């Protein structure tokens, strides 16, 4: 049930009176659908107005009695509490407004990480469920049925309390390739760019642009002459090869900041807090089960005749998949996929249960408790999620309209 | 001269029986064979220790952690707290009330699910209208000689079921009104309904629960206080009604236009048309969707632990904090997961079965 199709269903009697009828046939006003519907709507508006007036009036009285100020002035006041993880500079002296930004960025980070992992895992599982290998198909079905039917919050708790918190202390960390895993998280060396690293980045950018130009040229040539060009291989070679070559030529200008055990904890390197890992694992494993079902439905929606026709034309199995099945399946898959992405983003708010500093935890949690300004804080939090879902449904409508054109 | 057909030779032995099945499903081609071996090895190395931990090396009887000596799962922990997992802090002498309430519920659901039983409509109506009242007095008491049990004592699986059942039953009428409103010809009614639905569907349940627990008390005049459970139920119902409205709209849109037009042609009014023609047909199509929303809600009820209610997951969390039983959190998570899984899986199977059964209806669901 996605886009708005509200008025497609029925047309009731339009209520126009017989034009030449005698005036005595004029229906009473409550029998005239037009006037009646006008009356209904006026009543509805009045009732809504009354409800909102009462709520606002009560709220203002209550707030005044409790001595809570209103308005958004609190956003500029000093927050005075620390946040475990921040993508931007944040100290206790930062303002409440900054806590909003920090929370929002952390929410976006976990959403993006989750979406990438869930998509990859979900596509693999969805295809695996249709595999003609019995074991693989059953394994995928088992995965989907198990993880889909267990509450996400329980899975988050499991990863956090039963797995990550039971890892050894920093002193007994599990070590591999200079990285460490312990109950404070995952700590790995931080790359430190040195002089000349800019050249490598520039090379990467140039390679991407050149690949894009080649893809455009190859596409045009194929449309005109039918000759194909190995675009993907060339692009891969360019994007990996050019920066690598420059990197080696300029004398590997990238240092590593290795984490070291100092006292009871690690110094240096990059630390990924266990809350983030637990949330990421749970969100991607849970959502992947739903995405897998979406992908399976999409592939099954491509009629069998399409595959047979491709085989009859002599296309290989891989080409059939790439040129026939996937483009048609994507049309079915993408709308529910976007709503799964949206679900994942909304579900990331469960972070608050294990203390990952996302928007709900930091802003609708600590900031709300310290300022007491529940109305403003909850309204801002809800507005963020509403904006996200509004943008998603706009995208979905645009996408639906776009693929509808190419339909036969 | 008589020509007789020779009987067909049996298929080669490599094509039938266990070997044939293996060749066809597991080892048809080199890539599949390798995949089978890799996945098979992975599964065996994962499943064997798990099964051993859960069933073979585990301890089942005892009354303290000293009974857990075999190194496997310590189910003694769960067994000792089973009452809490099921009833929360509900007084032990009153457990029969919870049991009775759920026996009635499950009895009527079985009645509705079985294909042959008569008078399904009556049972469904009783379940939706009369049962909530009975259940309320049974669980809350304070009437008919039953002792009052405050809602803060409710908990465990029974609280989870209360939240889910109330959420779904209360959101059904609201959802019907919203769905009809969304399809209405009156612009103000339509936009009010669309706004309501989209707002609730756009925000996470947790912010709704926060709102219900923090903001709701501010909305009502001084001195009017709500029970914590009631606040959560209000939040869940409002949230769920938006999803319910979309399920109902889907059912309404699946009814061919001809049905609406025929009802109009017969001169039926709006409500007659809806109640006599459209709803009976649409409701049938909606049942799988309603069951699916119920599954989602059932899983989402676990979120109430964040606002301090003790549903079955919260009981598990609290049990894990017990200093006498530290270190057995995996057992309690597995147990709670199993409870949820059994409910959700059986419901989703039922909904799939219904979808297949109802698929014979209108063919033109574009």
Residue B202 has its nearest CB partner, among A11, A146, A386, at A386
Mutate to test the interface with B, among A2, A6, A363, A404 (most CBs of B within 10 A): A6
For chain B, the domain total comes to 2
CB contact under 8 A, B313 and A157: yes
Looking at the fold, whether B191 and B253 belong to one and the same domain comes out as yes
What is the band of A125 on the pLDDT scale with cuts at 50, 70, 90?
Answer: very high
Instruction: Compute the average pLDDT of residues A51-76.
Output: 81
- Give A86 to chain B, closest Cα distance, Å: 22
B46/A contact by beta carbon, under 8 A: no
B13 occurs within a structural domain? no
- What pLDDT is attached to residue B1? 67
CB contact under 8 A, B207 and A55: no
Mutate to test the interface with A, among B32, B50, B185 (most CBs of A within 10 A): B185
- What pLDDT is attached to residue A290? 93
Looking at the fold, whether B192 and B86 belong to one and the same domain comes out as yes
pLDDT value at A236 more than 80: yes
A185-188/A270-272 β-pairing? antiparallel
Domain range for B40: 18-57
Q: Which residues of B touch A40 (CB under 8 A)?
A: 186, 189
pLDDT value at A25 more than 80: no
- What pLDDT is attached to residue A288? 94
pLDDT value at A19 more than 60: no
Instruction: Compute the average pLDDT of residues A39-64.
Output: 86
Q: Who contacts A145 (Cβ-Cβ below 8 Å, separation ≥6)?
A: B345
Q: Which residues of B touch A10 (CB under 8 A)?
A: 183, 257, 260-261, 264
Q: Who contacts B327 (Cβ-Cβ below 8 Å, separation ≥6)?
A: none
CB contact under 8 A, A346 and B43: no
What is the band of A335 on the pLDDT scale with cuts at 50, 70, 90?
Answer: confident
Looking at the fold, whether B298 and B348 belong to one and the same domain comes out as yes
Residue with tokens 């309501």: B196
B269/A contact by beta carbon, under 8 A: no
B126 occurs within a structural domain? no
- What pLDDT is attached to residue A78? 80
Average predicted confidence (pLDDT) for chain A:
82
Per-domain boundaries in chain A: 37-67, 96-172+282-405
Looking at the fold, whether B35 and B82 belong to one and the same domain comes out as no
B37 occurs within a structural domain? yes
Query: Exposed, middle or buried: residue A214 (CB in 10 Å: 0-12, 13-18, 19+)?
Result: middle
B 136-155 residues with CB < 8 A to A = none
The total of other beta-carbon atoms located within 10 Å of residue A328's CB is 16
pLDDT value at A121 more than 90: yes
- What pLDDT is attached to residue A20? 52
Strand partners, A257: A190
Strand partners, A185: A182
Taking one residue from A and the other from B, the number of pairs with CB-CB distance under 8 angstroms is: 178
Search chain B and give the residue with CA nearest A44: B189
CB contact under 8 A, A162 and B202: no
Q: Which residues of A touch B271 (CB under 8 A)?
A: none
Average pLDDT for consecutive 10-residue bins of chain B (366 residues)? Answer: 82 77 78 86 88 81 75 79 82 81 85 80 82 81 75 84 88 90 86 89 88 82 77 91 89 85 89 87 83 89 88 86 81 89 90 75 43
CB contact under 8 A, A4 and B194: yes
Which pLDDT tens digit goes with each residue over A66-90?
777 777 777 888 877 878 787 888 8
More confident site: A24 or B112: B112
B211/A contact by beta carbon, under 8 A: yes
CB contact under 8 A, B185 and A4: no
Which pLDDT tens digit goes with each residue over A169-227?
777 777 777 778 877 778 888 777 777 777 888 888 988 999 999 989 988 988 888 88
CB contact under 8 A, B345 and A145: yes
B172/A contact by beta carbon, under 8 A: no
Search chain A and give the residue with CA nearest B271: A12
Which pLDDT tens digit goes with each residue over B290-312?
888 889 899 989 999 888 888 88
- Give B113 to chain A, closest Cα distance, Å: 21
CB contact under 8 A, A9 and B215: no
Q: Which residues of A touch B344 (CB under 8 A)?
A: 148-150
Report CA dihedral (A17, A23, A26, A29) to the nearest 10 degrees.
Answer: 120
* ipTM entry: 0.85
φ, ψ of residue A60 to 5 degrees: the values are -60, -45
CB contact under 8 A, B202 and A389: yes
Q: Is it true that domain A96-172+282-405 has CATH number 1.10.10.10?
A: no
Looking at the fold, whether B50 and B83 belong to one and the same domain comes out as no
Mutate to test the interface with A, among B203, B221, B242, B366 (most CBs of A within 10 A): B203
pLDDT value at A12 more than 70: no
Looking at the fold, whether B49 and B170 belong to one and the same domain comes out as no
CB contact under 8 A, A360 and B204: yes
Looking at the fold, whether B342 and B206 belong to one and the same domain comes out as yes
CB contact under 8 A, A62 and B199: no
CB contact under 8 A, B222 and A65: yes
Mutate to test the interface with B, among A3, A5, A8, A10 (most CBs of B within 10 A): A10
B329 occurs within a structural domain? yes
- Give B148 to chain A, closest Cα distance, Å: 31
pLDDT value at A4 more than 70: no
CB contact under 8 A, A6 and B189: no
- What pLDDT is attached to residue A406? 53
CB contact under 8 A, B186 and A152: no
Search chain A and give the residue with CA nearest B29: A133
Query: pTM to 2 decimals?
Result: 0.83
B26/A contact by beta carbon, under 8 A: yes
B116 occurs within a structural domain? no
Q: Who contacts B262 (Cβ-Cβ below 8 Å, separation ≥6)?
A: B277
- What pLDDT is attached to residue A9? 43
Rounded distance, CA A381 to CA B300, Å? 20
Rounded distance, CA B41 to CA B236, Å? 45
CA distances, B193 to each of A48, B205, B234 (Å): 12, 19, 18
B122 occurs within a structural domain? no
Rounded distance, CA A311 to CA B95, Å? 65
SS (H, E, C) chain B: CCCCCCCCCCCCCCCCHHHHHHHHHCCCCHHHHHHHHHHHHHHHHHHHHHHHHHHHCCECCCCCHHHCCCCCCEHHHHHHCHHHHHHCCCCHHHHHHHHHHHHHHHHHHHHHHCCCCCCHHHHHHHHHHHHHHHHHHHHHCCCCCCCCCCHHHCCHHHHHHHHHHHHHHHHHHHHHHHHHHHCCCCHHHHHHHHHHHHHHHHCCHHHHHHHHHHHHHHHCCCCCCCCHHHHHHHHHHHHHHHHHHHHHHHHHHHCCHHHHHHHHHCCCCHHHHHHHHHHHHHHHHHHHHHHHHHHHHHHHHHHHHHHCCCEHHHHHHHHHHCHHHCCCHHHHHHHHHHHHHHHHHHHHHHHHHHHHHHCCCCCCCC
Instruction: Compute the average pLDDT of residues A29-54.
Output: 84
Q: How far is CA B151 from the centre of its chain?
A: 22
B348/A contact by beta carbon, under 8 A: yes
What is the band of A1 on the pLDDT scale with cuts at 50, 70, 90?
Answer: very low
Q: Which residues of B touch A37 (CB under 8 A)?
A: 185-186
B110 occurs within a structural domain? no
- What pLDDT is attached to residue A16? 46
Instruction: Compute the average pLDDT of residues A325-335.
Output: 84
What is the band of A407 on the pLDDT scale with cuts at 50, 70, 90?
Answer: very low
Search chain B and give the residue with CA nearest A60: B218
């Amino acid at each position: 049930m996605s886009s708005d199709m509200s008025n497609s269903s029925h047309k009731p009697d339009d209520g126009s009176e017989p034009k030449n009828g005698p005036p005595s046939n004029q229906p009473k006003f409550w029998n005239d659908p037009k006037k009646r519907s006008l009356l209904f709507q006026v009543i509805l508006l009045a009732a809504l107005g009354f409800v909102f007036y009462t709520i606002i009036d009560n709220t203002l009285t209550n707030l005044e009695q409790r001595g809570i100020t209103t308005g958004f002035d609190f956003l500029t006041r000093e927050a005075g509490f620390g946040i475990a993880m921040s993508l931007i500079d944040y100290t206790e002296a930062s303002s409440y407004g900054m806590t909003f930004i920090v929370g929002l960025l952390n929410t976006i980070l976990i959403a993006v990480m989750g979406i990438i992992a869930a998509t990859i895992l979900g596509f693999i599982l969805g295809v695996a469920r249709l595999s003609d290998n019995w074991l693989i198909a059953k394994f995928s079905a088992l995965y989907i049925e198990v993880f889909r039917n267990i509450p996400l919050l329980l899975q988050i708790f499991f990863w956090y309390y039963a797995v990550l918190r039971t890892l050894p202390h920093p002193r007994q960390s599990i070590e591999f390739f200079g990285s460490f895993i312990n109950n404070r998280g995952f700590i790995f060396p931080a790359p430190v760019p040195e002089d000349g690293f800019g050249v490598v980045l520039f090379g990467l950018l140039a390679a991407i642009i050149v690949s894009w130009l080649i893809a455009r040229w190859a596409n045009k040539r194929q449309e005109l002459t039918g000759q194909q060009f190995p675009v993907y291989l060339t692009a891969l070679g360019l994007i990996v090869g050019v920066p690598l070559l420059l990197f080696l030529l300029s004398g590997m200008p990238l240092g590593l900041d290795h984490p070291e055990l100092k006292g009871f904890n690690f110094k240096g390197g990059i630390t990924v807090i266990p809350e983030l890992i637990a949330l990421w694992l749970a969100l991607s494993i849970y959502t992947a089960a739903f995405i897998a079902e979406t992908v399976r439905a999409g592939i099954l929606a491509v009629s069998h005749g399409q595959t047979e026709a491709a085989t009859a034309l002599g296309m290989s199995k891989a080409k059939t998949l790439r040129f026939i099945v996937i483009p048609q399946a994507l049309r079915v898959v993408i709308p529910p996929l976007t709503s799964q992405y949206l679900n994942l983003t909304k579900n990331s708010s469960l972070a608050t249960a294990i203390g990952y500093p996302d928007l709900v935890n930091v802003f609708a949690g600590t900031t709300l408790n310290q300022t007491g300004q529940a109305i403003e804080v909850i309204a801002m939090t809800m507005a963020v999620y509403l904006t996200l879902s509004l943008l998603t449904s706009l995208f979905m409508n645009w996408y639906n309209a776009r693929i509808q054109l190419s339909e036969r | 001269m008589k020509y007789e057909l020779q009987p067909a030779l049996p298929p080669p032995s490599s094509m039938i029986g266990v070997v044939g099945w293996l060749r066809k499903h597991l080892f048809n081609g080199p890539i599949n064979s390798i995949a089978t071996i890799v996945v098979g090895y992975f599964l065996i190395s994962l499943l064997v220790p798990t099964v051993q931990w859960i069933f073979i090396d585990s301890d089942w009887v005892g009354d303290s952690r000293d009974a857990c000596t075999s190194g496997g799962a310590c189910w003694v922990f769960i067994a000792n707290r089973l009452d809490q997992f099921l009833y929360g802090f509900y007084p032990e002498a009153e457990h029969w009330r919870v049991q009775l309430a759920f026996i009635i519920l499950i009895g009527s659901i079985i009645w509705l699910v079985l294909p042959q039983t008569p008078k399904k409509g009556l049972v469904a109506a009783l379940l939706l209208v009369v049962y909530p009242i009975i259940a309320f007095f049974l669980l809350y008491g304070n009437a008919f000689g039953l002792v009052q049990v405050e809602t803060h004592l409710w908990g465990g699986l029974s609280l989870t079921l209360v939240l889910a059942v109330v959420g779904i039953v209360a959101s059904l009428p609201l959802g019907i009104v919203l769905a009809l409103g969304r399809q209405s010809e009156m612009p103000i009614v339509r936009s009010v309904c669309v706004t309501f639905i989209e707002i609730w569907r756009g925000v996470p349940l947790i912010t709704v629960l926060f709102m219900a627990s923090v903001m709701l008390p501010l909305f009502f005049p001084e001195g009017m206080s709500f029970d914590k459970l009631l606040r959560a139920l209000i939040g869940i119902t409002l949230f769920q009604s938006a999803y319910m409205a979309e399920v109902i709209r889907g059912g309404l849109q699946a009814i061919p236009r001809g049905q609406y037009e025929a009802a109009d042609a017969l001169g039926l009014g709006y409500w007659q048309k809806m109640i006599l023609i459209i709803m009976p047909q649409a409701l049938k199509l909606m049942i799988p969707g309603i069951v699916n929303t119920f599954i989602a809600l059932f899983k989402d009820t676990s979120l109430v632990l964040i606002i301090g209610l003790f549903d079955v997951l919260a009981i598990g969390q609290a049990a894990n904090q017990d200093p006498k039983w530290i270190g057995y959190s995996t057992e309690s998570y597995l147990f709670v997961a199993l409870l949820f899984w059994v409910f959700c899986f059986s419901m989703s199977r039922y909904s799939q079965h219904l979808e297949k059964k109802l698929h014979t209806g209108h063919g033109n669901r574009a």
